Amino acid sequence: MSEPERAQQNENENEEITPELLMIMSASIAAYLGKNVRIRKARFISNLGPSSWSQQGRVSIQSSHTFSINK
């Protein structure tokens, strides 16, 4: 399967962003910034694979585990 086909399949499998969800996001951003905002595009990104932030977090946590061997 080619990359464009995979991207199209992922888009079809994603949940739909409802108008209610867009309204909630817009209200939240407006409350944070103190001015009205207009959302032009929104999409879910959780199915796009692991992010570098989450991967680095896992590396940090795993490297913090130290084992001492008592002889």
CB of 47 within 8 A of CB of 13?
Answer: yes
- What pLDDT was estimated at residue 43? 81
CA–CA gap between residue 10 and residue 46 (Å, rounded) = 11
pTM: 0.44
CB of 43 within 8 A of CB of 10?
Answer: no
pLDDT, tens only, 23-65: 999 999 999 999 988 889 888 766 666 778 888 888 888 888 7
Q: Residue 5: CA atoms inside 13 Å, Cβ hemisphere, count?
A: 2
Alpha helices by DSSP H, listed for the chain, are: 3-13, 19-33, 52-64
